[in-house]
Structures are given as C-alpha cells and as structure tokens.
Amino acid sequence: MKRILLILPVLLALCLPAGAQTPRKVTGTPMQYSVENGNDTIFRDTLEPAWVLPRGEGMSARDWRRYYKLVYNFNKVYPYALVGREMMAQVDSTIAADVTRRSERTRYIRDVERELLRLFESDIRSMTVTQGLVLLRLVDRECGLSAYEIIRTYEGGFAANFWQLVARLFSQNLKMRYNPSQGEDAQIEELCRIWDSGQWDNFYYSIFMEAPVKTVIKTRTLESEVRKKNR
C-alpha cells in the first residue's frame, strides 16, 4: 500500500507565489583541554572536531549566499518533514489495521487532511517561497513519491494536472524526483546527514556564529480515526 503523506503542506507550498559543494568534517576525536593557574585547574572543556566550510574552495560569492540561505531554510522546515514521517507511519498503521472498505479509507483521508489543515496551515503559509520549495524536496525524500504522484494518488488526475500547471507558472515541476546525488538535492541530503548525526547545532553555529532557532512542533500524532458506519 502506498503511503499517505502530508498532502496539505504540499498544496499550500505550491500556492506560495513562487551549488554543488558540501561541507566536510575534519576527522578526529574530541580533544580535552584545560586552563591552569599553578597547581590549580580553573577551567576544563572539550574541543569537538571542526567543520570545514566550502567558502574559499572554489565556491563563488553567489553560490555561497545560496548555500547560506539553504542552511537557514533547512533548519526551519526539516522538523516538519520529520513529523510528517511520524504521522505518515501512524496513518499507514491505522489503515492497515482498521480500514476494510474504500469508503472508510476515503473518509479517513479527508479527516486527516482537515486535521493537518488545522494543525499546520498557519505555519506553512508563513513560510517563504524558498522554504516551501525546500519542504517539497524533503517531502519527496521522506515518502519516495513526487508531489505530482501524491496528489494524483489521493486527489485524482485532474487535481494533479491542475497543480502541475500552477507549479509550471512558477518554473517548478511537480514530477521532478528528489535526487540525493545531484545539485541542491545533494546539499540537502548532506544537511540531513549532519542533522541526523546530532552535529547540527555545531555545524549551524560554524556558519552563522549563533545557535539555531528551533522549530517547535507541539503535535506529533494525529487524532483522526477510521469512521465505521455503525459508529
């Protein structure tokens, strides 16, 4: 069974008027250091391996600005993709366990869409165009389906073609697949690896010289249930 994803954020992101190098981490182990006064140690800390940024390694000023912006936008939207993955697993599990009829599946999907609208509409609409597009790439990464395929599967071919036309007006293509080995998708994939490794805060600080602003998502599970006719 194909996965159900965050259809609503995909559509809302499309409603917004619409460099190849990656950072490398120096290999090595953390180094202990201390500051001493005579026989007394007055300060002790640990130096983690440093991040070496691509600036100065062939990246133009324009490419650096784009990368700088990508890191900032990724920090904002990736938590939504992670929550979406959790909710997707919940929906898949619910359908597998409780859905016996197509009508039940249809009602359940509609209920999930309404709940997503209530939970995330204001957040998605506050995103910039570029943030919405980064979120689209992450949506594809998490579900293994292009935005076009998601809409066609759950909303029908007419809806998919309509939103593809809207995307084309903003020079976007809903059928384009996420490719972790090329272009900006490769940079996004590297950022995902840094985040998942637990090194994101250090990496972000090395670029902006300040701690990243955390995106807080209060709700990580859905309340929607499959509605049976006898309920």
Q: How many angstroms separate the CA atoms of 5 and 192, rounded? A: 19
Q: What is the mean pLDDT of residues 17-24?
A: 42
pLDDT at residue 154 is higher than 90: no
Q: What is the mean pLDDT of residues 96-101?
A: 88
Q: What is the mean pLDDT of residues 73-92?
A: 88
Q: What is the mean pLDDT of residues 120-147?
A: 81
Task: Identify the pLDDT of residue 65.
Answer: 86
Most confident of 37-41, 76-80, 169-173: 76-80
Task: Identify the pLDDT of residue 57.
Answer: 58
pLDDT at residue 29 is higher than 90: no
Q: In the structure, how many helices (H) and strands (E) does the chain have?
A: 8, 4
pLDDT at residue 104 is higher than 60: yes
User: Regarding predicted confidence, which is higher, 56 or 43?
Assistant: 43
Q: Are strands 31-37 and 40-47 parallel, antiparallel or unpaired?
A: antiparallel
pLDDT at residue 54 is higher than 80: no
Long-range CB pairs of 122-130 (<8 Å, 24+ gap) are 123/80, 124/8, 124/9, 124/12, 124/13, 125/12, 127/13, 127/16, 127/76, 127/77, 128/16, 128/73, 129/16, 129/17, 129/18, 129/170, 130/69, 130/73
Which has the minimum average pLDDT: 62-66, 142-146, 182-186? 142-146
Question: Which among 229, 176, 221, 202 has a CA at the least distance from the CA of 86?
Answer: 221
Mean pLDDT of the chain: 75
Whether 49 and 28 have beta carbons less than 8 Å apart is answered as: yes
